[in-house]
Structure formats: C-alpha cells, structure tokens
Chains A and B, each alone.
Chain A
Amino acid sequence: MTMSTTSAGLEFHDVTVAYGRRPVLWNVDLTVPGACLFGIIGPNGAGKSTLLKAALGLVPLAGGEVRILGAPLEQVRGRVGYVPQRESVDWDFPVTVTDVVLMGTYARLGWLRRPGPRERSLAAECLDRVDLADVADRQIGRLSGGQQQRVFLARALAQQADVYFLDEPMAGVDARSQERIFRVLAELRAEGRLVVIVHHDLRSAADWFDAVALIDMRLVATGPVEAVLTPENLRRTYAGRLDLLDEIGRAVAEGGRTP
C-alpha cells in the first residue's frame, strides 16, 4: 500500500484539453510529489475539474500525457480513487448509503462477482471513518449535503487507493463536516497516500494543504502553500474578477501561513 517516496505521485506533461475548438487547459506542466494534500485552486471555469478528469482519463487530451505513480493510468487504475462532484449524480436513485459505499469495491471484484461479507465489513468500516454508521441503511436522498459528500468519501475509502482525486468535496458542506473530511484526508496522507483536491476556498486551503497549484486555464504557480498563495499570484490567477478581490484580500490577510 505504501508508495516509494522518491517517485512523483502525479505528473502532467504539456497537458492540453479542448472542448471543440475552445481550449480549457493550456499546456499544463505540473508535478505533484507523493504523500501530501495537494490543492488545485482557481476561479470558476478555470479548468480545475477538467484537470482531474484529464488525470482520470474521463476527457480526451488534445495533447500531452499524464502519469500516475510513474506509470500511465491504465496500469495503475486499481490504485486510484475518485470523489466526483456531488451534483453529478441523481440522489433520488433507489440505493442505500451502504450500497453506494460498496460500489468502491466493484472494480476489485470485477465482472459478475457480488460483494460478500468481506466487502460489507469494509464498507461498514469506511462509513464509520466518516461518521455515517448510523445512516448506513438510509436511501441516499434522505441525507444532508455534507452527509452525501461523506458517502462519496467513504466510497473512495473503500477503493483502498494510493492516489485520491476529489472534485470540490467541500461544496455545500458546513464547517464541521468540512473539518471531519479534512481530518480523514490528513489520515490518508499520514498513511503515505497522495490526495489531490479541487478546492475553491482559499482560507481553508492555506490551513490544510501542503502544496497547491493555481490554475486559470494555464498553470499560474505551484509549490508549497506559503510560496504560492501570494497576493501577486492570486491577482494573476483571478485577474479581472473584481468581485473576488475582497475575498482574496481577506484570505491573504488571515488565512496565509505565518512563516
């Protein structure tokens, strides 16, 4: 389960993605070391989610390549976990919380084999880790937004991956759930795993992440949080988005790490 600490966890080489003729990611060249909490930060429409999807092979690359744990995706798919955006599914779907978490074990089970007692106890363990044991048998629509987000996290835990990709896991989540999610992610890092998170809140980014990448179609800056989240870099990333300047000012003033 542990990864060699020398190899990079995730590498993007010249990755370009276009929807039609419109570029969404422009020549992104980014290396993420292993075993850390890594934030992908940028304004709306900056291509943050697309960057995750490019890493997971969910959007075709116009050019460039992605390597995970030093290998192409196909070779390491079983070691990759994913938390999609909460709005990407229909929460009225007739499945229970446990059913959804069990889906994390499907890839390992392969075709036709059904989850058995081992998978069930793993699912229960994962639910316990995100504090949802008491709603295990509920239909997923009867949960709050933060609980739904944690169901997705539990499903990813059940994947038992070495590299995790999370797409806006804090969207619509209250401060307490957010802290709980961050704690689980910090545990994953302590176990030697890499956690890559698309995130929008600069303040909590400064509190929790080890390193970040600022993205606005192109890569603006990447590195340790204190080196990257500088007023200059933020201005370049959020250029022209005046409504955000306030938020940035606050984040830099309060949230940035003190050396």
Chain B
Amino acid sequence: MILAVVDDPFPYGWIPPYNTLVVAAGVASVGFAAGVVGCFAVLRRRALAGDAAAHATLLGIGLAFLLGGGRRDLPLLLAGALATAIAALLGLVLIGRWTRTRDDAATAIVLGVSFGAGITLLSGITARGIPGSAGLGQFLLGHTAGLTAADATILGAVSLLAVGMVALFLKESTLVAFDPLFAAASGWPVMLIDYALVVLVAVMVVVGLPAAGAVLVTALVVIPPVTARQWTDSVGVMLPLSGMFGLVAALSGVAVSSAVPRMPTGPLVVIAASVLLTVSLLIAPRRGGLARWLEARRTVAAWADGRLLEVALRLDGDGPFTREQLLARAPGAAADSAFKRLVRSAALEPVVTRGGTHAWRLAVWGRELAAERSRRVAAWTEVLEAAREDARGHLTIDVPSPEAILGAARMKAIRESAAAERVAGGPRPGQPWQPGQPGGGAGG
C-alpha cells in the first residue's frame, strides 16, 4: 500500500471504494461468526444437520423471489432461506422422533429432497426468464460482487448478534454440548438450548450464503472449528480462534474472487479454510500429525535405549560382550539405532579382546545411566503398586524420575502407606459401615 501511494499505479485511486470496505467488513463478521457458532455444531456432532439446512436454503430463496414479485431484495431472499433451512431441521427432528430412520440416513434424505426441490424451482424460474432471476444462481456457489453496502451491513449485524448470543449463553451451551444427560438431570431445558444452537447454525448458514453459497457454506461452519480444536484444549480459546480462522478464510476467498471476473467465492473460501486446516492438522503441537509422529518415534527410541542399557548392565557383569549378544537379548526394530546412539554417546565403550573380535562394555557413565534407570523402574513399580491409577497418568515410557514428577513429599507418603499396608497384610476392602459409627467405611 505504501508503494501504491508512491507510484499510484491505480488510476481510480488507492483507497478502496466505500462499498468494497463495507462488504469486506460484512464478510469478515460473517466468517468470524460462522467459526464461533460452528464450534458447538462440531462439538455436539451436529455438523451434518447444518449441511442439510444449507442445502435447503435454495428452495426458500426461490419461494421468496416468487412471493416478492420478482424483486431481488437480499433481506427478503435470506428470510425465505432461513424459513426453509429451519423447516429442514424440523424435518430432521420429526423423522428422528417418529420413524425408525437412523440419523445419517435422515440427514441425507432431507438434504437431497430439499436441495432437489430448490434446484428445480430455481431452474424453473430462470427458464421462464423472469426479470431479475438471472442472479439467483449466485446463491449456489456464492458471489459477493453484487453485494451492496446495505446488504453487507445487515449480514454483519446478524453475524455479530449470533456471536453475542453464543458469548451470552456460553456456560449453558458448553454444559449441554458436553453432557446433555447431566444437564437434563439438573433441570436445564436441554431441548430448548439444543434447538437454539441449531437455529443459530441455520442463521449463520443463511447469512453465509452470499459469501460461500448453499453447497459450500457448511465448510465455513465446520472447518474453522476443527482447525481451532487442533490448537487448544479449552472451549474458551477454541471459540474466538475458530472465529479468526473463519474470518481469514472468508476474507481471503472474497478478495481473490474479486480479482477474477465471474469467479464464484464459495470454492475459494473453502480452499482458504482447508489450507489453514491442513497446516493445523500437520503442525499443531500435541494433536498435529507431525507432533504425533515425532512423539511415536521418540517413544520407540527411548524405550529401545532403556532396554539396551538394562541388558548391557546384566551382560557387563560377565565381562565384555558383543553387539550381537546385546541385540539378541533386546530385540526390536529400534534396537540397532539405539545401539549406535549408546556408542555415540559413549555409554558403551569398545574393548579389543585377544581373539581380535570387537567387544563392548559399559563405560562408567553408561553404568551410572543404567543403574539410575533401574532405580527409577523399581521406584515406579513401587508407586504403581501403592497408587496405581493416579501414578499411571504420570508414567511415560522414557521412565522419568518419579520424585521429580510426583514430588518428594508425595513419594514419601506413598512409600509409607505401602509399608503400612505390607505390615497389615496387603490391601483389604473397606469394613462394612455400622450404624452409630460416624464416618463409616474404611478399614485398613
């Protein structure tokens, strides 16, 4: 932009026209809100219901167009879209409730039927050449070029309203999405909250139509949440993050399409969203593919190193040993590279025997390493016996020092309780409670 000021290569001026700015802001809010609202659709496993609603919007657009006497009035068309989207969701609920059709089949039926009806109606309208009907096809794949500032303002306002609703009812939505049974048992109107969330998804699908189109708009609701989930373990972070991903996807899709004449925006928005998703699936810490692959490799290596040291310590008692002797006693795909690592780190040192064959022994450092490892294994064994379940969550395959992880005080407590139990003759189930014995339970 700075360069543009200097060179002024744009004959029409470098400041984007007012309309473009307003449309960009509107599309940005739509992307953000779709990402936020979509989180609960994804967490509650309702992503496909949103897709069915999206495909049902075309029918509503056609009906609203006819009702409005052929006016191409965006708010009117979107109101029609919302009506059929909600009708489709209602259809899903009814099919699920009163027939024995499975959820996935019901979704496919509603999606197919409503989309088919919508396409038929729109084709009929365009075939008759009703004036103003030419632009209706744009709702199929999205096209923001025709948006006016007034339209974009409405889209943006509805989006911000949707975000406000989610922010307001974050506590209730999270509870119902995580544990509907518990929510219902403690008196929350689970159905109401559930429906409200699904209707909110329908609203976002509808206001997302100009940006992404009926066929692809669910991507705007589903892909950003999945992307955001890769980076965080907290709903409170996932929501705004998902919103940001949605914003970036929507804006970049619209920006690229505006540079190419007659290019629909929907596919570009989806491509932008999937680039973010792909990168996140690969490089996100802990949940990302790369992190998992590295962790798996490290796990195998750490285990092989430890096993080899363990065996080496035992063999070392009888003097030098050969590589083959060592590997035969600690088999495994990673044993060979573990051996090389031990040699490189000088935990093993070479000995030339009289026969001239290469043999090895543990260096002083290697012996210390091996001794420390077996001490830790012994300590963990004790801890696992005394407090199995809690300790198991902390034990990793590289055998960390239990004192460092559990703390010296806790280790001492565990040891003492284990010792007390040994004196008492092993763990026993609690004594039955007797009336008049407050506190009850608990022998030991």
Contact status B433-A107, CB under 8 Å: no
Does B229 reach chain A (CB closer than 8 Å)?
yes
Find out whether the CB atom of A147 lies under 8 angstroms from the CB atom of B185. no
Instruction: Name A187's contact: one of B174, B390, B431, B440 (CB within 8 Å).
Output: B440
Report whether B234 and A95 are in contact in the complex, using a CB–CB cutoff of 8 Å: yes
Against A, the Cβ 8 Å flags (1 = close, 0 = not) of B182-194 are 1011111000000
Cβ of A41 within 8 Å of any chain B Cβ, yes or no, is no
Nearest-neighbor residue (CB-CB) of B45 within chain A: A90
Contacts A77-B187, A106-B171 given; does A94 touch B235 at CB 8 Å:
yes
A95:B174 contact, CB within 8 angstroms:
yes
B388 touches A183 (CB 8 A): no
Those of B45-60 within 8 Å (CB) of chain A: none
- Interface pair A93/B440, CB less than 8 Å apart: no
**Interface assignment of B3: CB less than 8 Å from any CB of chain A:** no
Q: Does A37 contact B (CB under 8 A)?
A: yes
Interface residue tally on B, bucketed by range = 35 or more
Question: Do the beta carbons of B179 and A183 come within 8 Å of each other?
Answer: no
Smallest beta-carbon distance A191→chain B, Å: 9
Known: A95-B174, A107-B188. A176 touches B388 (CB 8 A): yes
Alpha-carbon separation in the docked complex, A254 to B387 (Å): 26
Q: Is B104 an interface residue (CB 8 A)?
A: no
Q: Which of A103, A115, A165, A173 sits near B179, CB closer than 8 Å?
A: A103
Contact A142 B393 (CB under 8 A): yes
Do A144 and B392 touch (CB < 8 A)? yes
Tell whether A186 pairs with B179 under 8 Å between CB atoms, given A94-B238, A135-B393, A147-B390: no
Q: How far is the CA of A147 from the CA of B440 in the complex (A)?
A: 23
* A94-B233 CB under 8 A given contacts A103-B175, A182-B441: yes
Which of chain A's residues have a CB closer than 8 A to the CB of B179?
Answer: 84, 88-89, 103
Given known contacts A96-B234, A103-B178, A176-B387, is B427 in contact with A208 (CB within 8 Å)? no
CB contacts (< 8 Å) of B235 on chain A: these are 94-95, 99
Residues of B within 8 A of A109 (CB): 171
Size class of the contact patch on chain A: 35 or more
What separation, in Å, do the CA atoms of A56 and B235 have in the docked complex? 28
Cβ–Cβ < 8 Å partners of A203 in chain B: 429
From residue 164 to 200 of chain B, which have CB atoms closer than 8 A to chain A?
Answer: 168-169, 171-172, 174-175, 177-179, 181-182, 184-188
B439 contact from A88, A165, A186, Cβ within 8 A? A186
Is B427 a contact partner of A176 (Cβ separation < 8 A)? yes
CA distance A189 to B238 in the complex (A): 40
Q: Are A144 and B393 in touch, CB under 8 angstroms?
A: yes
Which residue on chain A has the smallest CB distance to residue B427? Answer: A175
Q: A147 touching B186 by the CB < 8 A rule?
A: no
Chain A 93-120 per-residue mask, 1 if CB under 8 angstroms from chain B, else 0: 1111001100100110101101100000
- Determine the distance from Cα of A99 to Cα of B233 in the docked complex, in whole angstroms: 11
Partner of A208, one of B169, B171, B390, B430: B430
Q: 1/0 contact trace for B306-333 toward A, CB 8 Å? A: 0000000000000000000000000000
Binding site for A on B (CB under 8 A): 43, 168-169, 171-172, 174-175, 177-179, 181-182, 184-188, 229, 232-235, 238, 387-390, 392-393, 427, 429-433, 438-442
Query: Which 7 pairs from chain A and chain B are nearest by CB?
Result: A186-B441, A186-B440, A139-B233, A107-B186, A82-B185, A146-B389, A56-B185
